[in-house]
Structure 1
Amino acid sequence: MTRLRGPFGRWDPASLSEVVARFSGLESCWWVAGGFAIELAVGRRIRSHGDFDVLLLRRDQLVVQQALPGWQWWAADPPGSLRPWAPDEILSLGVHDIWCRAGADDPWRIQIMIDESRGQEWVSRRDPRVRRPISTLGMTSADGVPFLAPDVQLYYKAKTPRPKDEEDFDAVLPVLTDRQRRWLVDAISKTYGPHPWIKRLQA
């Protein structure tokens, strides 16, 4: 379903199968993120989606241009603006999102989220105290699709939860392991302080 999103044009999110086909040949790590990652964690469809998120580490950012050759790539330069991302350009640390579409008259299809890392650790761009081994950042679906671990995805959604984030939290909460719950409580507490999700995670 084509959806509007702000002043930058319409979205028609790519399908999971299309994203897998385009990114599966990469040597670098990548993960399905956002609401689709939550659905892969619970194993069922939860809601409609306005976009499709893929997570990459900043050090691997240029593989986007390899995975989507001939597409338009636009960097989301804060605050609230888009600009073309030039071939082989290394984005500044302030840029965390890339919007991708096949052509100028086409809808946006894929949003790339860029996260930080140091050595073999993922480091939260919101709080450098929140980190974990890159090897534990994602999970793999029964079909072999890599997706962002639900506790990490919920950590990002916890900043200012929207109705869809609450829906995702409700859906995935029952499948979180004790270890994931503990990690998420600690991460939320460090970065955001008191939060309504903490009590439910500790129940």
Structure 2
Amino acid sequence: MSEHLPAGGHQLTPAEIDALPARWSSCWTPGEIAPRLSGTATPWCVAAGWALDLFRGEQTREHGDLEIAIPAASFTEIRGRFPGYVFDTVGSGHLWENATQEELAATHQTWLRDPDTGDYLVDVFREPHRGDTWICRRDPTVRFPYREIIRYTEDAVPYLRPELVLLFKAKNARPKDQADFEQTVPHLTPDQRATLAGLLARVHPGHPWLAHL
């Protein structure tokens, strides 16, 4: 285990990793999570693949989970919105069930679990920030006010700007990430393409996606 991770928890075995998709089979959709967070003062938003579908206005593929992003300091408020559920935290192939404050502080990814079924329902990213300014985990010099990175659907579901979603997907560019990029770029405005190109050049110099922007 990394010296930066807390004691306790357990390392996920290959069999447990293979079994995770089944535990996410009952995960919520953006339309199901939004009412649970309605009225919160915390700037939250749908992230990853679902965010791109919300931007494009239709679901284009199946999603293995639902991911949302929140400011790390606001997790206690968000946690209070889910009585009867527990939050597990994960990092470096380890999992801590019903995570303590120490375990939360050492990680950024948190899975909401139904204790009755064992199913995971939403993946909460606790993001670095300074007050109302979001800070990119990949490059802390990339910073935006929250009011600039969150967009809304006609039904008022908040989602992360597509340029930032694609910036995170660019690191590994799995087949689904490549497909998301190809399907999203035609919907971007010239300004959005320029923003994404600038971010890619800054965080991932020489990335092959730059040639298509």
Tell whether the structures are fold-level matches, with TM greater than 0.5.
Answer: yes
Find the partner of 1:50 among 49, 64, 68.
64
Work out whether residues 72 and 104 of structure 1, in 8 Å CA contact, stay in contact via their aligned partners in 2: no
- Separation (CA, whole Å) in 1 of partners of 2:153 and 2:17: 29
Partner of 1:98: 110
Find the partner of 2:53 among 39, 59, 70.
39
Partner of 1:63: 77
Q: Post-superposition shift, 1:188?
A: 1.4
Q: Post-superposition shift, 1:113?
A: 1.0
Letter in 2 for 1:84: E
Q: Given the alignment of the two structures, is residue 80 of structure 1 paired with residue 80 of structure 2, yes or no?
A: no
Q: Post-superposition shift, 1:120?
A: 3.0
- Separation (CA, whole Å) in 2 of partners of 1:27 and 1:142: 20
- Separation (CA, whole Å) in 2 of partners of 1:5 and 1:171: 29
- Separation (CA, whole Å) in 1 of partners of 2:116 and 2:206: 44
Q: Post-superposition shift, 1:10?
A: 1.6
Work out whether residues 46 and 159 of structure 2, in 8 Å CA contact, stay in contact via their aligned partners in 1: yes
Q: Which moved more, 1:4-13 or 1:140-149?
A: 4-13
Q: Given the alignment of the two structures, is residue 117 of structure 1 paired with residue 129 of structure 2, yes or no?
A: yes
Aligned residues: percent identity? Answer: 32
Correspondence 1:1-203 to 2 at 5 A: 6=18, 8=20, 10-12=23-25, 13-76=27-90, 78-86=91-99, 91-92=104-105, 94-103=106-115, 105-201=117-213
- Separation (CA, whole Å) in 1 of partners of 2:24 and 2:50: 16
List 4+ stretches of structure 1 deviating above 6 A. 87-90
Letter in 2 for 1:98: T
The runs of 5 or more residues in structure 2 that have no matched partner are: 1-15
The runs of 5 or more residues in structure 1 that have no matched partner are: none
TM-score, reference length from structure 2: 0.84
Work out whether residues 30 and 157 of structure 2, in 8 Å CA contact, stay in contact via their aligned partners in 1: no
Q: Post-superposition shift, 1:6?
A: 3.6
TM-score, reference length from structure 1: 0.88
Q: Post-superposition shift, 1:54?
A: 0.8
Give the 3 Å change call, closer, same or farther, for CA 37–5 of structure 1 in structure 2: farther
1:35-85 Cα shifts (integer Å, max 9, x gaps)? 110001001111001000011011211123112111020011x31111024
- Separation (CA, whole Å) in 1 of partners of 2:206 and 2:116: 44
SS at match of 1:62: helix
- Separation (CA, whole Å) in 2 of partners of 1:184 and 1:61: 28
Q: Post-superposition shift, 1:106?
A: 2.7
Work out whether residues 30 and 146 of structure 1, in 8 Å CA contact, stay in contact via their aligned partners in 2: yes
Work out whether residues 89 and 99 of structure 2, in 8 Å CA contact, stay in contact via their aligned partners in 1: no
- Separation (CA, whole Å) in 2 of partners of 1:29 and 1:64: 10
Work out whether residues 137 and 149 of structure 1, in 8 Å CA contact, stay in contact via their aligned partners in 2: yes
Letter in 2 for 1:82: L
Q: Compute the RMSD of aligned alpha carbons.
A: 2.0
Q: Post-superposition shift, 1:87?
A: 6.6
